[in-house]
Structure 1
């Protein structure tokens, strides 16, 4: 779960009623939350190695990226002496949690394109990242679903040019992706600058913070709305109490 402006707006009525409404219901919810903590927290990473192997060795030649294998997978076809980049296309997709069931069309188009590219002598390597299954990696990249990444892989430690394009969830077809490739340029893509969350040259990667940030954002996303509203309510009460106490002290000082 991710917080948005709608979540904050939803919290405003609770703030307005915080002084009058009881908090017993929040306490009960909190106790229930603690009691069910073990079953509430999902596994942060899910990977089916059998299905991944079938996708990689089958007609699609599609590699499934995980937190543990993504870098090794992208470097795998790169020879140590290479001066011409090995191009990877990686689709960031998801299921009901991260894409709300809207990524099916894009995912189908990408897999159809992977099968077509597998028949060509020269075509990009194809990779797939599911944010439902790999939330830590998606957060470490600070990316979302329906994004197409293009990695121009060279031997380490050479810089990796990385491009990104947001795909339309309703209109993208295999023909759309084939046309992108046949255009022979990256004019429709955005070149990622080596800012904080570049997968290879990002400042977070350099400082070793990318994966910890991924875990932090994943854990933060587990906080239920009611607990967030409870915290905001307590903060609001404390601020109002301090303000009223300060006003009372000033009034007493004038007497």
Structure 2
């Protein structure tokens, strides 16, 4: 009985609020709609461009919020004990990379083309934080970095090796050399909380909610958030 009474009371709150403070509710809805206009889309990846990158000479995948997991697991064979090596470059635009990622992004594109000619090439892909801000926030990933995923069949833990490259001087030869000499010599093993597979957020299925929360607070102006909270508090009084 306690649950049903409480539930009924909660369901009645909107009606009470609209009956007692209609002017605050109308004002709040107005500012809520205005706030939503300030929030950009959480994904701007162009599917046509993504398909061209995959089918072109680079054979590169484009990771998005909706496909990253299935993309990374796509070539993993059941029961395999040898990891599928997946090199992912994290790039951005004027907001996330201040326009400084173009040179190193071009270097990685050339690297992907060179990798595609190898007898047993690693998989390649890129993640654009300007187009996929929620995913980048969920991973807490900086731009200008290369992530090497060692993919094994689920539910095996996934090792990720990370290296940030110089945004102004890096060439494709630099990245190819890291692969030739063994990336583990110069890359750092990712063991943080935001690890996409092994991290605490991922293990508790909270990576995506955390990504949305961090993205939301990054894109919503602080004054607009405070104004909205002010109207919420006034409507509850």
Indicate the residue corresponding to 1:182 in structure 2: 180
Structure 1 residue 215 and structure 2 residue 212: aligned? Answer: yes
Query: How do residues 231-250 of structure 1 correspond to structure 2 at under 5 angstroms?
Result: none
- Measure how far apart 1:96 and its partner are: 1.1
Query: How do residues 8-87 of structure 1 correspond to structure 2 at under 5 angstroms?
Result: 36-87=34-85
- Measure how far apart 1:51 and its partner are: 1.2
- Measure how far apart 1:67 and its partner are: 0.8
Query: How do residues 168-179 of structure 1 correspond to structure 2 at under 5 angstroms?
Result: 168-179=166-177
1:84-105 per-residue CA deviation (whole Å, 9 max, x = no partner) reads: 1110000111011111111001
Structure 1 residue 198 and structure 2 residue 195: aligned? Answer: yes
Q: 1:137 aligns with which of 119, 135, 138?
A: 135
CA distance in 1, matches of 2:176, 2:103: 15
Q: Secondary structure at the match of 1:165?
A: strand
CA distance in 2, matches of 1:170, 1:135: 23
1:149-205 per-residue CA deviation (whole Å, 9 max, x = no partner) reads: 000111111111111111110111101101111112411111112x42111111101
What TM-score results when the alignment is normalised by the length of structure 1? Answer: 0.74
Indicate the residue corresponding to 2:26 in structure 1: none
Unpaired runs of at least 5, structure 2: 1-29, 231-237
The count of aligned residue pairs is 202
CA distance in 2, matches of 1:79, 1:38: 43
Query: How do residues 104-183 of structure 1 correspond to structure 2 at under 5 angstroms?
Result: 104-183=102-181
CA distance in 1, matches of 2:219, 2:115: 39
1:121-168 per-residue CA deviation (whole Å, 9 max, x = no partner) reads: 122100100001111110110111111100011111111111111111
CA distance in 1, matches of 2:217, 2:80: 41
Does structure 1 conserve the Cα–Cα contact (< 8 Å) formed by 2:101 and 2:144? yes
Unpaired runs of at least 5, structure 1: 1-31, 235-255
CA distance in 1, matches of 2:225, 2:186: 40
Q: Which structure has the larger Rg?
A: 1
1:218-252 per-residue CA deviation (whole Å, 9 max, x = no partner) reads: 11012325557989xx9xxxxxxxxxxxxxxxxxx
- Measure how far apart 1:212 and its partner are: 0.4
Q: Secondary structure at the match of 1:181?
A: helix
- Measure how far apart 1:209 and its partner are: 1.0
1:55-79 per-residue CA deviation (whole Å, 9 max, x = no partner) reads: 1111000000011110100111111
